[in-house]
Amino acid sequence: MNESVREAFRNDGATLLKDCLDEGQLAQCREAFDWAVANPGPHASSMFDGSEQRSVVDNANPLAKDRLDALVSRLPFGRIFADLWGSEHVWYFAEEIFLKAGGRGARSSWHQDTAYLPWAGEHWANAWISFQPLPQRNSLEIVRGSHHGIQYDGTTFANPDDPTEPLHGHGILPRLPNIDAERAADPDAYDVLSWATEPGDVVTLHPRSLHGGAGVDAACPERHTLVLRFFGDDATFRPLPDVNEHYARNGVLFTEEMAKLNPGDPFRSPLFRQLV
Q: What angle do CA 191, 192, 195 make, to 5 degrees?
A: 140
| 35 vs 157, beta carbon nearer ligand AKG | 157
Return residues touching ligand AKG (CB under 6 A): 96, 98, 108, 113, 126, 128, 140, 211, 214, 225, 227
**Amino acid of residue 271:** L
Query: Minimum distance between the CB of residue 211 and ligand AKG, rounded to whole angstroms?
Result: 6
Query: Minimum distance between the CB of residue 215 and ligand AKG, rounded to whole angstroms?
Result: 8
| 126 vs 250, beta carbon nearer ligand AKG | 126
Query: Minimum distance between the CB of residue 212 and ligand AKG, rounded to whole angstroms?
Result: 7
Query: Minimum distance between the CB of residue 207 and ligand AKG, rounded to whole angstroms?
Result: 6
Q: Count of CB atoms within 10 A of residue 206's CB?
A: 28
Instruction: Give the N- to C-terminal CA distance of the chain in Å, as an integer.
Output: 17
Q: Is 101 helix (H, G, I), strand (E, B) or coil?
A: strand
| Dihedral of the alpha carbons of 267, 270, 275, 276, in degrees to the nearest 10 | 70
| 87 vs 225, beta carbon nearer ligand AKG | 225
| 90 vs 99, beta carbon nearer ligand AKG | 99
Contact partners, residue 125, CB within 8 Å, separation at least 6: 9, 81, 84, 85, 204, 205, 206, 207, 229, 230, 231
Which single residue brings its beta carbon nearest to ligand AKG?
108
Q: Are the beta carbons of 82 and 89 closer than 8 angstroms? A: yes
Query: Minimum distance between the CB of residue 88 and ligand AKG, rounded to whole angstroms?
Result: 25
Query: Minimum distance between the CB of residue 130 and ligand AKG, rounded to whole angstroms?
Result: 8
| 2 vs 176, beta carbon nearer ligand AKG | 176
The alpha carbon dihedral of 87, 90, 94, 95 has a sign of: positive
| 112 vs 186, beta carbon nearer ligand AKG | 112
**Among 222, 2, 269, 3, which residue's Cα sits nearest to residue 119?**
269
